Amino acid sequence: METQNKTDIPEEYKKGFVDFLGCKIDLSRRPLIPRPETEFWTKYAIVDLAALGASKIRVLDIFSGSGCVGVAVAKNLPLSSVDFSDIEASAIEQIKINCEINAIAPDHFRIFKSDIFAGIPKGDYDAILANPPYIDPSRIGQVQKSVLDWEPGTALFAADKGLARINEFLKQAKDFLTPEGFIYLEFDFSQKNDIIKIAREEKYLAAKFFRDQFGKWRFAKIFRQKP
């Protein structure tokens, strides 16, 4: 039974799905609701992946949640092979649902239940697309009450000023990329300088930072080798 002081359920959950780059993303397992900012950078990632011109592109959608990012890649790039990863069992079920709804061919995707890279077989990805939890818990008062009431906190908050999961991810991700591979990473606008520092410490050779459609620093393209 829901507590009486909870806000009304978000419209996206009431409706049961959202549109994300032409894909129908089911929300029946209550994953993190896909944000316009995530859709914005995913479009950039798809354009970059299409430009590779490879016969088969290997992509990892990590911290997948609903699977919206990887599903959009698979739908828009039919020759791609997409792996999905999330630690939550409910997310694994949600990704399966969304791959089926969007008619992603079974031989073009795999799903792993994994804490970051712990359960993912070693492999060389052309790109790793990551939307980790990155909100500093001390900023909980700035988060909308409806988000706190209904959306999964594990997909929102991370220790160490919101950087704990980003730090863990960047320490390992380069070992799963091709030499020419790259990362798209979503983050909080206040974390840009921290991510520059982490990327340098972990010996990534280049990083480019981009603003979202609202003018805030929101995502980085990080290269294993110089572009």
Q: What is the mean pLDDT of residues 26-32?
A: 98
24 lies in a domain? no
Question: What span, in angstroms and rounded, lies between the C-alpha atoms of 29 and 17?
Answer: 11
Is pTM beyond 0.85 here?
yes
CATH number for the domain spanning 116: value is 3.40.50.150
Instruction: Name the amino acid, one letter, at 88.
Output: E
170 lies in a domain? yes
Residues 129/70, Cβ–Cβ less than 8 Å: yes
Closest CA to 60 of 92, 85, 31: 85
- pLDDT value at position 2? 47
- pLDDT value at position 122? 86
In angstroms, the Cα distances linking 185 to 67, 79, 101, 149 are 15, 23, 26, 26
- Give 38-80 pLDDT, tens digit per residue: 999 999 999 999 999 877 899 999 999 999 999 999 999 998 9
Instruction: Write out the residue range of the structural domain in which residue 145 sits.
Output: 32-223
- pLDDT value at position 4? 52
153 lies in a domain? yes
Give yes or no for residue 86 having a pLDDT over 60. yes
